Structure 1
Amino acid sequence: MSTTALAKTDVSLKTNETSSNGAVAETPMPVLFKSSFKSAPQWIFDNVYNQDTPSRQTTCAQSLQNSQDDSFRKSFLPNIRLFLHKDSINMSEWNRLSHYNNPFGFMEYNYSDVMNAVKLIPKPKEPLLVPKPGSDGCVRCAVVGASGILNGSRMGTEIDSHDYVFRMNGAVITGYEEDVGEKTSVYVHTAHSITASMKFFKIYGYTSVPKDEGIIHVLIPEGLCDFTWLQALIRGERVTTGRHKNTVPRTFYAGRYNVSRFYVLHQDFLRYVRDRFLLSPHLNESHWALVRPTNGAFTLFLALHTCDTVNAYGFITEDYEKYPNYYVEKSVKTPVTMYINHDYILEMKTWQKLHQSKIIKLYQRTDSETEAGQPKSP
Structure 2
Amino acid sequence: FYYYLFIIIFILFFILLFLFILLFIIYYTEAPLAQATAHPTQKDTRAEASEKKDPMQVTLPPKARDRTVASDGAETLSLSSQDPRTIKGKQDQKKEPTAARTEPPKPQGKAQATARTPVPKSQAEALTMPGAGSRGRTVKGVTTVVVPPRETVRATPPSTPFWNRTTERKLSLQATNFKSEPQWDFEEQYSFDTRALQSSCPDSVKVKASKSPWLQKLFLANLTLFLDSDHFNQSEWERLEHFAPPFGFMELNHSLVQKVVKHFPPVPQQQLLLAALPPGSSQCITCAVVGNGGILNNSHMGQEIDSHNYVFRLSGAITKGYEQDVGTRTSFYGFTAFSITQSLLALGGRGFRHVPLGKDVRYLHFLEGTRDYEWLEALLLNQTLVKSLLWFRRRPQEAFRESLRMDRYLLMHPDLMRYIKNRFLRSKTLDTKHWRIYRPTTGALLLLTALQLCDQVSAYGFITEGHETLWKRLHDEGIIRLYQRPVISKPKM
TM class by shorter chain equals 0.7 to 0.9
The correspondence of residues 290-369 of structure 1 with structure 2, limited to 5 A, is 290-316=437-463, 344-345=465-466, 347-368=467-488
Indicate the structure (1 or 2) with the bigger Cα radius of gyration: 2
Of the three residues 31, 54, 66, the one matched with 2:207 is 66
The correspondence of residues 219-298 of structure 1 with structure 2, limited to 5 A, is 219-244=365-390, 247-298=394-445
Q: Report the alpha carbon displacement of residue 246 of structure 1 after superposing the two structures with TM.
A: 5.8
CA distance in 2, matches of 1:184, 1:137: 21
| RMSD value, Cα | 2.7
Contact residue 219 and residue 263 of structure 1 kept, 8 A: yes
Three-state SS of the structure 2 residue aligned to 1:51 is: strand
Q: Report the alpha carbon displacement of residue 227 of structure 1 after superposing the two structures with TM.
A: 0.7
Aligned-partner residue type, residue 65 of structure 1: K
The correspondence of residues 208-219 of structure 1 with structure 2, limited to 5 A, is 208-219=354-365
State percent identity of aligned pairs: 40
Contact residue 53 and residue 80 of structure 1 kept, 8 A: no
**What do residues 160-207 of structure 1 show as CA deviations (whole Å, max 9, x unaligned)?**
000000001000110011110010000011111111101112242322
Of the three residues 240, 244, 269, the one matched with 1:101 is 244
Of the three residues 279, 283, 286, the one matched with 1:140 is 286
Of the three residues 226, 234, 238, the one matched with 1:91 is 234
CA distance in 2, matches of 1:11, 1:160: 53
Unaligned runs of 5+ in 1: 19-27, 318-343, 372-378
Partner of 1:171: 317
CA distance 1:214–1:138, shift in 2 (3 Å): same
CA distance 1:17–1:273, shift in 2 (3 Å): closer
Report the structure, 1 or 2, having the larger helix content: 2
Unaligned runs of 5+ in 2: 1-91, 112-168
CA distance 1:209–1:35, shift in 2 (3 Å): same
The correspondence of residues 106-185 of structure 1 with structure 2, limited to 5 A, is 106-126=249-269, 127-130=271-274, 136-185=282-331
CA distance in 2, matches of 1:129, 1:369: 41
CA distance 1:38–1:240, shift in 2 (3 Å): same
Larger mean CA deviation between 89-98 and 260-269 belongs to: 89-98
Q: Report the alpha carbon displacement of residue 7 of structure 1 after superposing the two structures with TM.
A: 10
Larger mean CA deviation between 85-94 and 267-276 belongs to: 85-94
CA distance in 1, matches of 2:219, 2:105: 26
CA distance in 2, matches of 1:237, 1:53: 38
Aligned-partner residue type, residue 225 of structure 1: R
Aligned-partner residue type, residue 181 of structure 2: A
CA distance 1:140–1:99, shift in 2 (3 Å): same
Larger relative contact order (CA 8 Å, sep ≥ 6) = 2
CA distance in 2, matches of 1:173, 1:88: 35
Q: How many residues align?
A: 333
Three-state SS of the structure 1 residue aligned to 2:231 is: coil
TM-score by length of 2: 0.63
Aligned-partner residue type, residue 356 of structure 1: D
Contact residue 132 and residue 163 of structure 1 kept, 8 A: no
Q: Report the alpha carbon displacement of residue 142 of structure 1 after superposing the two structures with TM.
A: 0.3
Contact residue 105 and residue 172 of structure 2 kept, 8 A: no
Larger mean CA deviation between 228-237 and 214-223 belongs to: 228-237
CA distance 1:111–1:30, shift in 2 (3 Å): farther
Three-state SS of the structure 2 residue aligned to 1:253 is: helix
TM-score by length of 1: 0.81
Contact residue 104 and residue 172 of structure 2 kept, 8 A: no
Larger mean CA deviation between 123-132 and 167-176 belongs to: 123-132
**What do residues 63-92 of structure 1 show as CA deviations (whole Å, max 9, x unaligned)?**
111111022111111111100001202211
Contact residue 215 and residue 256 of structure 1 kept, 8 A: no
Contact residue 188 and residue 218 of structure 1 kept, 8 A: yes
Contact residue 166 and residue 185 of structure 1 kept, 8 A: yes
